[in-house]
């Protein structure tokens, strides 16, 4: 067990990890007391696996500004904790591989429909079956869009816009995707041929693990003004797609862990942990990495855009609705590093904000949000578990000030996959969920056991902690009707 | 050269988000083979893989830990490049001029969802808690895989 880490509660659901030797800033953890207790006991004899230690390690990196942050869904990751946010000064700071991870711009796309829950319930079996057949998922699944090297380069450069040109969705979607579905500065030359080749058959595939496709309904609207802006209506059906940059992102992560280890040595940056290898943001190595991250992010935008198109086709086929009435509510990633402007101690500063298992959550009035959402701030999409609820939330002025406009991304795991697979049986999880009205289609029963609702923290607690701390605000609670897992 | 086609000597470790593996064996080569087997056991039922296709791996690393990441990373990439999954491995490891070199062979076949019982896809080999060390009379390798 890891040595107890001294934390001081400094606010509702807010804890301070005081600056100690090597730390350039303090750690600040936004979580409830139960999560803190769990974090203290995590590690099982391996202190390097502790999320609290990871918060501390991030605080040691050059140019970090404010604090090394962890949001309420925090749990152990590699390098950064999951739910970790680290902002770095562009002139003195570093770009950190572990601050983005392997699944670059993994995120959630949400589509709204004009359908009432009661209209979908009678056809839910057909819809689930159709989605299961239509959206490639699970280990080894290939997408319908087969691409050449030159076309992969276009995906990396142009993101969602490229697949829209190829007939997957409409240009109206772009306004409701973070960065309009295309991150600037994506130079495909910064991505290895191996990464591109691994991606040939994977654009438009869901993957496995915690990735999912869910047909949900709006169970309750909690913030009328924001829900109205987002077009969320109580009782209406929405679809959420959780996936990322697939093998391309994974290979970029693998490649740059090596390249940035060399850079760390070159720039004499002490590395407390291998996943925190980094390079100065303005260095050629740092710029190259950020360009590769932009490529990975664009690949993820294209991936979710392609799947969204397949989902629309399914909804039209099974429910007979007009495709134009299935609109993108938002598409937002939760593994990324972005150049942003923030006010720190009254001064506007340009920062590179890493969010690992955390979304951007810009509050009211920010010009980065889609125009119709500007008054309330853009939505953040918080994945729950197969058996509980998911949430739409939004950023707040407090969140802009305290956590660089960041948001929680999910419930956060509580049990390891090993423990979950031992405790739960895939078939039983599926039948239990069916008895509470949630249908599951899965490519892997073992995967279902690992992803059993009981393996996660209670999403309600996580959402409540974010609200208590004032950093995010709940807009609507969603409940699943049908779940497709890889 | 040491060959391995079983899962003996492998233990999965509790990491909250991802999964850790610990491979033990009498020789350095045996733990590399067992770690590879553990990697594919997370994704498929390796017992059902027929060794019909072989894939050669040549890789290098400054340390044995780096070499393990290179070896497993090469095999993992094959899953996407050629659709292959592996269940039997053979490696030889040598050191010279400050670099570790691995020459290995993996045997397997194209992934068949109907036969291989697909499980969870591994995204990457992390350096978290990574170690390859001599322990007692044998060797041990540990690493965390991002899933």
CATH of the domain at B53: 3.55.10.10
pLDDT, position A153: 97
Q: How far is A31 from chain B (nearest CA, A)?
A: 17
Q: Determine what percent of chain A is predicted with pLDDT higher than 70.
A: 99
CA angle, A286 then A353 then B122, to 5°: 75
Q: How far is B1 from chain A (nearest CA, A)?
A: 27
Q: Which residues of A are catalytic?
A: 409
**ipTM value:** 0.91
pLDDT averaged over every residue in chain A:
95
Whether B38 shows a pLDDT value over 70: the answer reads yes
Q: From the list A209, A273, A415, which residue is nearest B147 (CB)?
A: A209
Whether A179 shows a pLDDT value over 90: the answer reads yes
Domain count, chain B: 1
Q: Point out which residues pair with A413 in neighbouring strands.
A: A456
* CA A176 to the chain's CA centroid: 16
Which residues from chain B sit within 8 angstroms of residue A103, using beta carbons? 123, 146
pLDDT, position B89: 98
Query: Is the CB of B128 less than 8 angstroms away from the CB of A447?
Result: no
Least confident stretch, A84-98, A296-310, B123-137: B123-137
Length of chain B: 147
> What average pLDDT does this structure show over A50-62?
96
Both tokens of A397, joined, read 């002025």
Predicted confidence band at B2 (pLDDT cuts at 50, 70, 90)? very low
> Closest by alpha carbon to A41, among B16, B40, B11?
B16
Least confident stretch, A1-15, A174-188, A374-388: A1-15
> What average pLDDT does this structure show over B123-143?
94
Q: Determine what percent of chain A is predicted with pLDDT higher than 90.
A: 91
pLDDT, position B5: 42
Query: Is the CB of B124 less than 8 angstroms away from the CB of A253?
Result: yes
Pairing of strands A27-29, A68-78: parallel
Whether A476 shows a pLDDT value over 60: the answer reads yes
Q: How far apart are CA A69 and CA A59, in angstroms?
A: 9
pLDDT, position B3: 45
Predicted confidence band at B4 (pLDDT cuts at 50, 70, 90)? very low
Which residue, among B10, B17, B114, would best test binding to A if mutated, counting the most A CBs under 10 Å from its CB?
B17
> What average pLDDT does this structure show over B27-36?
97
Three-class SS of residue A47?
helix
Give backbone dihedrals phi and psi of A330, rounded to 5 degrees, phi first.
-170, 160
Query: Is the CB of B113 less than 8 angstroms away from the CB of A413?
Result: no
Kindly state whether residue A434 falls inside one of the protein's structural domains: no
> What average pLDDT does this structure show over B123-144?
94
| CA separation, residue A384 to residues A237, A277, A356 (Å) | 16, 31, 17
Domain CATH number, residue A301: 3.90.1860.10
Structural domain range at position A145: 8-414+456-485
> What average pLDDT does this structure show over A271-292?
96
> Closest by alpha carbon to A212, among A466, A465, A456?
A456
Whether B1 shows a pLDDT value over 80: the answer reads no
| CA separation, residue A120 to residues A132, A258, A317, A387, B24 (Å) | 16, 49, 13, 18, 52
> Closest by alpha carbon to A309, among A444, A103, A136, A483?
A136
Least confident stretch, A39-53, A211-225, A448-462: A39-53
> What average pLDDT does this structure show over A42-55?
83
- Within 10 Å of residue B109's Cβ, how many Cβ atoms? 18
Domain count, chain A: 1
pLDDT, position A152: 96
Q: Tell me the residues of B at the A interface, defined by beta carbons under 8 Å apart.
A: 12-20, 43-44, 69, 73, 77, 79-81, 83, 85, 111, 113, 117-121, 123-130, 144, 146-147
Render pLDDT for A113-143 as a digit per residue (tens, 0 to 9): 999 999 999 999 999 999 999 999 999 899 9
Render pLDDT for A405-427 as a digit per residue (tens, 0 to 9): 999 999 988 888 889 999 999 99
Which residue, among A2, A54, A254, A415, would best test binding to B if mutated, counting the most B CBs under 10 Å from its CB?
A254
Structural domain range at position B14: 2-146
DSSP assignment of chain B, as one string?
A: -EEE-S-TTEEEEE-SSSEEEEEEESSHHHHHHHHHHHHHHHHS-GGG----EEEEEEEEESSHHHHHHHHHHHHHHHHHHT-EEEEEEEEEEEEETTEEEEEEEEEEEE--HHHH---PPP-EE--TT-EEEEETTEEEEEEEEE-
Whether A47 shows a pLDDT value over 90: the answer reads no
* CA A71 to the chain's CA centroid: 13
> What average pLDDT does this structure show over B32-54?
96
Kindly state whether residue A428 falls inside one of the protein's structural domains: no
| CA separation, residue A408 to residues A154, A357, A361, A382, A475 (Å) | 31, 8, 9, 7, 13
Q: From the list B19, B120, B123, which residue is nearest A250 (CB)?
A: B123
Predicted confidence band at B14 (pLDDT cuts at 50, 70, 90)? confident
Query: Is the CB of A416 less than 8 angstroms away from the CB of B16?
Result: yes
Query: Is the CB of B120 less than 8 angstroms away from the CB of A450?
Result: yes
- Within 10 Å of residue A258's Cβ, how many Cβ atoms? 16
Size of the A and B interface in Cβ pairs below 8 Å: 125
User: What pTM does this model have?
Assistant: 0.96
Q: From the list A78, A194, A415, which residue is nearest B146 (CB)?
A: A78
pLDDT, position A22: 94
pLDDT, position A466: 98
Which residue, among A48, A100, A416, A441, would best test binding to B if mutated, counting the most B CBs under 10 Å from its CB?
A416
Q: What is the DSSP letter of A3?
A: P
Kindly state whether residue A423 falls inside one of the protein's structural domains: no
> What average pLDDT does this structure show over B15-23?
89
Q: How far apart are CA A329 and CA A108, in angstroms?
A: 11
Q: How far apart are CA A227 and CA A235, in angstroms?
A: 13
For residues A97 and A289, the answer to whether their CB atoms sit within 8 Å is yes
Kindly state whether residue A439 falls inside one of the protein's structural domains: no
Which residues from chain B sit within 8 angstroms of residue A209, using beta carbons? 120-121, 123, 147
Both tokens of A148, joined, read 């050449």
Predicted confidence band at A252 (pLDDT cuts at 50, 70, 90)? very high
> What average pLDDT does this structure show over B42-62?
96
CA angle, B78 then A286 then A269, to 5°: 100
Kindly state whether residue A442 falls inside one of the protein's structural domains: no
Whether A299 shows a pLDDT value over 50: the answer reads yes
Predicted confidence band at A2 (pLDDT cuts at 50, 70, 90)? low
Helix (H) or strand (E) holding A213: strand A212-221
pLDDT averaged over every residue in chain B:
92
Q: From the list A44, A139, A257, which residue is nearest B43 (CB)?
A: A139
């Amino acid at each position: 067990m890891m040595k107890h880490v001294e934390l001081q509660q400094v606010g509702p659901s807010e804890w301070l990890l005081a600056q100690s030797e090597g730390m350039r800033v303090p750690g600040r953890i936004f979580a409830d007391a139960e999560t803190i207790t769990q974090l203290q006991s995590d590690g099982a004899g391996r202190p390097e696996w502790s999320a609290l230690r990871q918060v501390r390690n991030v605080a040691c990196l050059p140019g970090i500004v404010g604090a090394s942050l962890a949001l309420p869904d925090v749990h152990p990751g590699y390098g950064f904790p999951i739910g970790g946010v680290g902002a770095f000064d562009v002139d003195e700071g570093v770009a950190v591989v572990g601050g983005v991870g392997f699944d670059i711009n993994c995120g959630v796309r949400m589509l709204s429909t004009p359908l009432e829950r009661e209209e979908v319930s009678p056809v839910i079996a057909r819809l689930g079956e159709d989605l299961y057949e239509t959206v490639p998922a699970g280990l080894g699944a290939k997408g319908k869009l087969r691409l050449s090297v030159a076309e992969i380069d276009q995906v990396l450069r142009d993101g969602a816009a490229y697949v829209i040109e190829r007939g997957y969705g409409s240009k109206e979607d772009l306004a409701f995707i973070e960065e309009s579905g295309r991150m600037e500065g994506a130079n495909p030359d910064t991505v290895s041929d191996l990464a591109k080749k691994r991606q040939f058959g994977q654009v438009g595939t869901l993957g496995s693990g915690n990735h999912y496709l869910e047909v949900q309904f709006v169970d309750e609207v909690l913030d009328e003004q924001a829900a109205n802006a987002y077009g969320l209506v109580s009782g209406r059906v929405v679809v959420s797609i959780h996936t990322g940059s697939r093998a391309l992102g994974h290979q970029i992560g693998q490649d740059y862990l090596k390249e940035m280890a060399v850079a760390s040595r070159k720039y004499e940056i002490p590395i407390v942990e291998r996943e925190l290898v980094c390079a100065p943001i303005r260095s050629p190595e740092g710029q190259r990495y950020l360009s590769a991250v932009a490529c990975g992010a664009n690949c993820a935008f294209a991936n979710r855009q392609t799947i969204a198109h397949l989902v629309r086709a399914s909804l039209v086929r099974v429910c007979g609705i007009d495709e134009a009435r299935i609109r993108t509510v938002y598409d937002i990633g939760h593994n990324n590093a972005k150049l942003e402007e923030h006010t720190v101690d009254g001064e506007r500063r340009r920062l590179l904000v890493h969010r690992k298992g955390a979304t951007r959550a810009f509050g009211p009035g920010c010009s980065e949000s889609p125009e119709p959402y500007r008054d309330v701030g853009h939505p953040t999409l918080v994945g729950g578990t197969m058996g509980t609820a998911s949430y739409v939330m939004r950023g707040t002025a407090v969140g802009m000030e305290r956590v660089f406009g960041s948001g929680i991304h999910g419930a956060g795991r509580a049990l390891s996959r090993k423990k979950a697979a031992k405790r739960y049986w895939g078939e039983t999880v599926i039948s239990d969920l069916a008895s509470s009205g949630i249908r599951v289609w899965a490519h892997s029963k073992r995967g279902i056991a690992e992803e059993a609702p009981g393996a996660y923290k209670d999403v309600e607690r996580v959402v409540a902690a974010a609200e208590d701390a004032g950093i995010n605000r709940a807009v609507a609670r969603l409940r699943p009707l049908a779940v497709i897992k890889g | 050269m040491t060959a391995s086609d079983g899962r003996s000597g492998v233990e999965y470790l509790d990491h909250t988000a991802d999964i850790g593996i610990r491979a033990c064996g009498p020789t350095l080569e045996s733990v590399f083979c067992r770690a590879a087997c553990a990697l594919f056991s997370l994704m498929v039922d390796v017992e059902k893989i027929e060794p019909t296709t072989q894939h050669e791996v040549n890789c290098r690393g400054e340390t044995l830990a780096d070499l393990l990441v290179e070896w497993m990373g090469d095999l993992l990439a094959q899953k996407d490049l050629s659709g292959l999954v592996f269940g039997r491995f053979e490696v030889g490891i040598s050191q010279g001029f400050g670099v570790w070199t691995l020459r290995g062979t993996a045997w397997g076949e194209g992934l068949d969802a109907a036969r291989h019982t697909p499980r969870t896809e591994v995204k990457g080999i992390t350096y978290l808690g990574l170690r390859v060390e001599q322990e007692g009379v044998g060797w041990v390798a540990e690493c965390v895989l991002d899933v």
